[in-house]
Amino acid sequence: MARFSLLNGVADLMMLILIAWALQDGSKNSWMWAIIGGLVIGFASAVPWFIFPICYLGIVGITQRFKSRIWQSPILAMMIITAIGTILLLVTEFIALQIMGINLKFSESLTRTILPSMLLNLLFAFPIYVLIREINKLIYPVKNE
């Protein structure tokens, strides 16, 4: 039940792990992990189940793009993609909930949910990146040397 929250925002650790993994040099199957992670989260959430896999796939796609362009500074890429990914995911959720008939005010959603979530995700981005980098080194030691 442990989750990190600020106002109504929460940190999306799954998204951070996916971004960090996709940024690693030796990482493989980021697309597959995006789908699996999205389905797991979508299954537990009351938000329509397909929102998370689609958004995570989009975020991994953006990460692959950034990886080839900002390859010299992966931490910077991690931060930028985290900010973009948080907005992409939460705005998509917001639109989906509006379509479902749940009345949410955008200004309130922005100030109490989207921005606090982004702040939390940015706070956790660096430690998650370092952790995933070390795991990646353990899994693919030869390629990284």
Partner 1 sequence: MKSVNPRNVQVIIFLLVAAGVVLLALAGFIQPVIGTATNPIIQLQGYFTTRVQAVTEFITVPRDMASLRARNAELESEISQLQSQVIQLKQQLSEADVLYALLDFARQSPENQYIAAAVIGRDPSPFMHYVIIDHGSDSGIRHGMPVVTDQGLVGRVDAVTSKAARIQLITDPGSIMNVKLESLGVDGQISGSLTGETSLEMIPQNIDLQPGEIILSSGLGGSYPPNLLIGQVINVIKRETDLFQSAVIQPVVDFSNLNAVLVITNFRPVEIEPLIPSLIP
Q: Which residues bind partner 1 (CB under 8 A)?
A: 1, 3, 5, 8-10, 12, 14, 41, 44-47, 90, 93-94, 97, 100-105, 108-109, 112-113, 117
Least separation, in Å, of the C-beta of 123 and partner 1? 15
Min dist. Cβ of residue 34 to partner 1 (A): 15
Q: Which is nearer to partner 1, 64 or 111 (CB)?
A: 111
Distance CA(67)–CA(60), nearest Å, equals 10
Measured from the CB atom, the residue of 102 and 139 that comes closer to partner 1 is 102
Check: CB of residue 78 under 8 Å from CB of residue 59.
Answer: no
Q: Tell me, what amino acid is at 39? A: L
Q: How far is the CB of 127 from partner 1 (least distance, A)?
A: 20
From CA 139, how far away is CA 145, in angstroms rounded? 12
CA distance 47 to 79: 26
